[in-house]
Amino acid sequence: MTTPAAFQPLNAQHIQRALSTKSFGRTLHVLEKVPSTNTHAATLAQDNAPHGTVVVAESQTAGRGRLGRHWHSPSGKNLYCSVLLRTMPARERQPLWLSWIPLIAALAASRAVQVTTSLKPSVKWLNDILIGDRKLGGILCESSGVGTAHATVVVGIGLNVNVRRDEFPDELREIATSLAIEAGHPCDRTALLAALLVELETRCESFLAGNHGDILKEYMLRCSTIGQRVRIELAHGEQMDGTAESIQADGSLRVIRGDRTTADIRTGDVIHLR
Ligand code: BT5
């Protein structure tokens, strides 16, 4: 009896057969267990790994979120993936590119889920992937050598695929979800990864070719934060409440405060208020 695709371990040959990308995933490292796929990809970058190198792992022992937060990474169930980018636009466009990569990755991940499962995740600014108000996945982008000829960005994507509700730790059970929970059946990680890589590659190419406006429009349509009452948790424990109005050209979130003044938020955690 053959194992259904959804339960098969990740396999480099199967993944490469499913790819329709130009460079993303053409150099591919499929690992059983790593501390963090982002850290592993950064090490490969130092050893001259090519643009588009992908690291995927069955489990992470030290999976990371932003600001040193922990990413729950149980074995054999989910997608933990990092993509190494070496393409950089001209110097004056680099800040824009770096601020848009996490948003582009969140768009690509939500679109990949939609094409492989027909679920339609939204994106919570700036890079949380949600179904309803539960977190399906997150993005961690880390750059190095910016401003030099050897600049790299590692785009890390974590998506909960086949983990069951009872398998989440207590602190995540009510705030996180997985594709299997939402779809009611297990999902094929190989097909999802192949879709993710092509969605990410085409958007990165499009952005770098100057189609910034198209990505901004697509992001606005996907972003469930727009129009919501929000609380922004800023650095140093500061908070700001307001209504999220739009995404600006630089990827920041425009918030209208109660006194009608506006603020463009470049980084911070957003809470959707009811
Ligand atoms: C993120 O951080 O959402 C970025 C997560 C990126 C993970 C990927 S996996 C592959 C690559 N390698 C890595 O080491 N990391 C990347 P942040 O916005 O800071 O959210 C972190 C918060 O999400 C935690 O504090 C928890 O509240 C919650 N969380 C942790 N694990 C989760 C999970 N599996 N599903 C949903 N929420 C989770």
Are 229 and 258 a contacting pair, CB within 8 Å? no
Mean pLDDT for the stretch of residues 89-96: 90
pLDDT band at 66; cut points 50, 70, 90? very high
Measure 65 CA to ligand 1 centroid, in angstroms. Answer: 4
pLDDT per position as a tens digit, 10-43: 999 999 999 999 999 999 999 999 999 999 999 9
Q: What is the pTM of this model?
A: 0.97
The preferred substitution site among 55, 71, 181, 271 for testing ligand 1, maximizing ligand atoms within 8 Å of CB, is: 71
- Within 10 Å of residue 132's Cβ, how many Cβ atoms? 10
CA–CA separation, 127 vs 121, rounded Å?
12
> Which residue puts its alpha carbon closest to atom 28 of ligand 1?
71
> H or E stretch including 269?
strand 269-272
Backbone φ and ψ for 118, nearest 5 degrees, come out as: 70, 5
- Taking the centre of ligand 1 as the mean of its atom positions, its distance from the CA of residue 59, in whole angstroms, is 13
Pocket of ligand 1 (CB under 6 A): 36-38, 60, 63-67, 69, 71-72, 80-82, 128, 135, 138-140, 156-158, 160, 172, 176
For ligand 1, atom 33, which residue shows the shortest CA distance?
72
Residue closest via CA to ligand 1's atom 2 equals 65
Q: Chain-centre distance of CA 116, in angstroms?
A: 16
Q: How far, in Å, from the CA of 242 to the mean position of ligand 1?
A: 25
**Residue 1: is its pLDDT beyond 60?**
no
> 211-238, pLDDT tens digit by residue?
999 999 999 999 999 999 999 998 888 9
Q: Mind listing the pLDDT tens digit for each residue in 137-171?
A: 999 999 999 988 889 999 999 999 999 999 999 99
Tokens 């972003």 identify what position? 223
256 CB contacts (<8 Å, ≥6 apart)?
242, 243, 245, 262
CA 259–ligand 1 middle distance (angstroms): 34
Q: What is the pLDDT of residue 2?
A: 62
Distance from the alpha carbon of residue 120 to the mean position of ligand 1, in angstroms: 20
Please give the pLDDT value at position 259: 95
Identify which of 264, 254, 139, 144 has the alpha carbon closest to the alpha carbon of residue 203.
Answer: 139
Amino acid at 200: L
Locate the ligand 1 atom nearest the alpha carbon of residue 62 and give its number.
14
Which residue has a Cα nearest atom 27 of ligand 1? 172
d(CA 247, CA 216): 8
| Nearest atom (ligand 1) to Cα of 134 | 36
User: For residue 95, is pLDDT > 70?
Assistant: yes
Q: Which residues contact 166 (CB under 8 A, 6 or more apart)?
A: 173
Contact 63, 89 (CB under 8 A): no
Interval 177-188 mean pLDDT = 97
d(CA 109, CA 197): 9
Centre of ligand 1 to C-alpha 1, Å, is 36
Secondary structure element (H or E) that encloses residue 232, with its range = strand 229-233
Residues 115-132: tens digit of each pLDDT:
999 899 999 999 999 999
Reduced to 3 states (helix: H, G, I; strand: E, B; else coil), residue 221 is helix
Give residue 9's region: left, alpha or beta (phi > 0; psi -120 to 50).
beta
